[in-house]
Amino acid sequence: MTNPTSRRSFITKAAIAAAMAPLAGLPAFGQGYEQAVNRAPKASAPSKLKITEVKCGYIRGSLFVKIYTDQGIWGCGEGVDAIPGTYYLVKNFGERIKGQNPLNVHRLFEDIRKSGFFQGAQSGMYVAVLSAIEAALWDLAGKALQLPVYQLLGGKFRDKIRVYCDTALYQQHLPKPADFAEAATKAKNMGFNAIKFDLDQANDPNKYDRYNWTASPAELQRMYDQLSAARQAVGPEIDICADMHGRYDAVTAQAITKRLEPLNLMWLEEPIPAENVEAYKLITESTSTPICAGENHYLAYGFRRMLETGAVDIVMPDLQKCGGLGEGQRIANLANLYYVPFAPHMVASFLGAMACAHVCAAVPNFMIMEWQSYFHTQPMFKEIVTYDGEWVKDSFITVSDKPGIGVEINEAGMKKYAIPGVPFFE
């Protein structure tokens, strides 16, 4: 930032020298500088900023969007899950906002959403791609105004965002209780004070058949034994939560939630599919184990009925597919009216994680955010982004104070992981 005192002194000297110069027959003090400034190209004011192009690239389950402007400023965003085959949808959205001012984030979001009422704008791929576009607009706006995204969202309630470690102890490998204990201990030793495990096991040998969603007594015992081992390994002061990925029926959900009550879980996540809010309400009312859901709901509208009826104890929207950062804040604020905690799902890159962290900082009812263990084990995630700060320490992310999201995508690093046959930032 320019020192106002130095600038004032410079201008004063220039004015005095200019007045005396004709008498001395010499060029005015600062005249060369003034001419250079006048010759230099001037960027337009932020209010005149225009979008010129939207490009994208795909890596595994993520879509990365980059929005360019006529001032050389760009913004980056990410979408997840419901994004395969959406390249031309990205380009279509880009055409809709080309020439527009990117600072009008909510307006552009509404323009795209409302123009797609008959194109699938209620959920799925349409909203997941819109989420990436919307996040990139926030990033761009923050860079243009030299403010972090949380400031654009109204300021922050906290500087650090608590995260839980998803252990990625995937059930297709048929882990034993001892494996749960080992993974829990490892996460604790890494500094995490909250951890998550998967419980659904499609190839469990005790399963009646692959299409029957009712867990057998042996399956229920297996789930309890696994989480019990984790609890014994880390003690009562570490939060443990479990995910069932919506793969069971209400009978199983009620049975397992009651059985898990002595383990004092932080929550049980999506024991049944997302669609039936009334069924969730019956499960939630039947147990003291907190029930969490929302990663497969879209837009704030998708959470209204769930919150009105008290169907869940905790909401967990995925900001990389539910509608973006502004929509994530709206969902959190809606949940806050019902005193329901906001604990966003997050399976993106570190760009998505930091984008999500800005929203978590800007809402009062934030509880905890998901953090992936693959950040620590797979080099790709360090290669595809640029960030010079610490990623996580003792189960907390420090929210970036840099303009925009604070994390850049590294196109050179991403290139080798790009999906073959799909255009890459073209």
Same domain, 209 and 321: yes
CA distance 96 to 172: 43
Q: Which of 99, 125, 146 is the last residue of a domain?
A: 146
Q: Which two tokens stand for residue 232?
A: 């014994």
User: Could you list the residue range(s) of the whole structural domain that residue 244 is in?
Assistant: 151-402
The single residue listed with the structure tokens 């996540």 is 269
Same domain, 113 and 177: no
Same domain, 179 and 124: no
Give domain status of residue 21, yes or no: no
Instruction: Tell me the longest C-alpha to C-alpha distance in the chain.
Output: 102
For the purposes of burial, counting CB atoms within 10 Å of the CB of 188, is it exposed (0-12), middle (13-18) or buried (19 or more)?
A: buried
Residue-by-residue DSSP string for 321-346: TSS-HHHHHHHHHHHHTTT--B--B-
CA distance 14 to 77: 46
What's the CATH number where 341 sits? Answer: 3.20.20.120
Per-residue pLDDT of the chain (426 residues; tens, 9 = 90+): 334 334 344 334 444 444 444 434 444 444 443 454 355 444 457 778 999 999 999 998 899 999 999 999 999 999 999 999 999 999 999 999 999 999 999 999 999 999 999 999 899 999 999 999 999 999 999 999 999 999 999 999 999 999 999 998 888 788 999 999 999 999 999 999 999 999 999 889 999 888 889 999 999 999 999 999 999 999 999 999 999 999 999 999 999 999 999 999 999 999 999 999 999 999 999 999 999 999 999 999 999 999 999 999 999 999 999 999 999 999 999 999 999 999 999 999 999 999 999 999 999 999 999 999 999 999 999 999 999 999 999 999 999 999 999 999 999 999 999 999 999 999
Same domain, 96 and 163: no
HSE on the CB side for 369, CA within 13 Å?
31
Q: Which of 146, 177, 201 is the last residue of a domain?
A: 146
At 109, give phi and psi (nearest 5°): -60, -50
At 269, give phi and psi (nearest 5°): -100, 125
pLDDT score at 60: 87
pLDDT score at 44: 59
Nearest of 74, 80, 94, 78 to residue 139 by alpha carbon: 74
CB atoms within 10 A of CB 23: 7
Nearest of 245, 165, 171 to residue 201 by alpha carbon: 171
CA distance 339 to 18: 66
Same domain, 181 and 303: yes
Give the chain's domain count.
Answer: 2
CA distance 387 to 281: 42
Strand pairing class (291-293; 267-269): parallel
CA distance 283 to 295: 18
pLDDT score at 27: 42
Q: Which of 146, 171, 202 is the last residue of a domain?
A: 146
